Amino acid sequence: MMYGNDSSLLNPMAFVGLNGAMGGMGPAGVGQVPQMQEHLLGWNHPPEHMDIVHPHWRGFLAPGKYWHIGLALIYFMLLVLSFVGNGCVVWIFSTSKVLRTPSNLFIINLALFDLVMALEIPMLIINSFIERMIGWGLGCDIYAALGSVSGIGSAITNAAIAYDRYRAQLCTIFTLFPLRRRTISCPIDGRLNGKQAAVMVAFTWFWTMPFTILPFAKIWGRYTTEGFLTTCSFDFLSDDQDTKVFVAAIFSWSYCFPMVLIIYFYSQLIKSVRRHEKMLREQAKKMNVKSLSTQDKERSVEMRIAKVAFTIFFLFVCSWTPYAVVTMIAAFGNRELVTPFSSMLPAVFAKTVSCIDPWVYAINHPRYRQELTKRCQWMGIHEPDSGPSQNNAEAVSVTTEKLKSDDA
């Protein structure tokens, strides 16, 4: 089979069974329906723009237009979900007095990275209808750069959220046992203040820059089309040492390092909670009460928020692990396993999760649900108002964080 740009093979107007298409000349053409000739990926790219199509993809048949239309419809729905969901997160978390805390800066930051991911979708929808990358090389670079910023940023922001949840949970636990606050097992003292959180948020954006700028400027690595040739990412298919080192480096930077941090902080959080569950029960038993009232309720709220953060992390793993596996197989394994469909599905998963993230908060985050109940009644969310004890606990928490921010 030829994989080049032979016009007889790649011309979309070429038909099989021309006898039937020529007015039914001869008995062989009677009743026959003309069929469009299948063509290979890259058929609609002029020679001067074929450099954005890796030779690996040119050996696959181009998907039918209905696959492109189906993807466009899916991505349109994801676009709506993302802008509504992440827009609500940014709006409510940044304007609500109860939710406007240093810890929630990370939630806003994650929503912003998810919105950056959503900025790719209008381009992808257009690409799906024209069955190629709009803007050719420049469009490919812009699309891939947006994906790089959002993907790497989401990973490191999830690590920052895990660290913050670890600190917040220990702060709540040791409020019940103040004599144990500054020990070898708990070297940290309290929550992050506003300046600390802002510095960490700025760091997450800085973290995305190296492996976004280097391929964009073609200093190390490059961006190229993938899958159906309607999306772009970094080149993980070129069979040279420089590309392999680049893939290994970006895999470690954007996936392995954040994953190690996330697993460490959540494992430490779980160990601390289990270790102090027994102490909490013993303390309540000594006081001859079923629970520790306000402190126990505040801790329960923190646990719900920690569960939300862990759910977001789990979704992150489910969305980006398939993509990481595909890139590693392409770079270091049997690249024949990497087909247009197998490379497109992980991209769909990643964008789907970026749209699901804000709705996880809507389902599980108690204070966010209360704000949605007040401001977005059309969503049909009904979260009862907190009791006096929880309101007092939240007020003390917010006031304490504000004082720390002012003193810092």
- Tell me the pLDDT tens digit for each residue of 65-119: 999 999 999 999 999 999 998 999 999 999 988 888 898 899 999 999 999 999 9
pTM for the predicted model, two decimal places: 0.79
The two most distant CA atoms of the chain are separated, in Å, by 100
pLDDT digits (tens, 9 = 90+) for 214-246: 999 999 999 999 999 999 999 999 999 999 999
> Residue 324: exposed, middle, or buried by beta-carbon count in 10 A (0-12, 13-18, 19+)?
middle
Q: Is the pLDDT of residue 133 over 60?
A: yes
All structural domains of the chain: 1-39 (no CATH), 46-407 (1.20.1070.10)
Q: What pLDDT shows up at residue 11?
A: 40
At residue 173 the predicted structure's pLDDT band, cuts being 50, 70 and 90, is low
Q: Is the pLDDT of residue 305 over 50?
A: yes
Q: Which residue has the tokens 């070898």?
A: 184
Q: Is the pLDDT of residue 407 over 60?
A: no
Overall average pLDDT of the 204-216 stretch: 97
Q: What pLDDT shows up at residue 386?
A: 60
C-alpha–C-alpha distance, residues 392 and 389, integer Å: 5
Q: What is the DSSP string of 355-396?
A: HHHHHHHHHH-HHHHHHHHHH-GGG----PPPPHHHHHHHHH
Which of 118-122, 282-286, 350-354: highest mean pLDDT? 118-122
Overall average pLDDT of the 152-175 stretch: 80
Q: What pLDDT shows up at residue 179?
A: 41
Q: Are 93 and 361 in contact (CB under 8 A)?
A: no
Q: Of 148, 187, 162, which Cα lies nearest the Cα of 261?
A: 162
Q: What pLDDT shows up at residue 33?
A: 44
Is residue 158 helix, strand or coil? helix
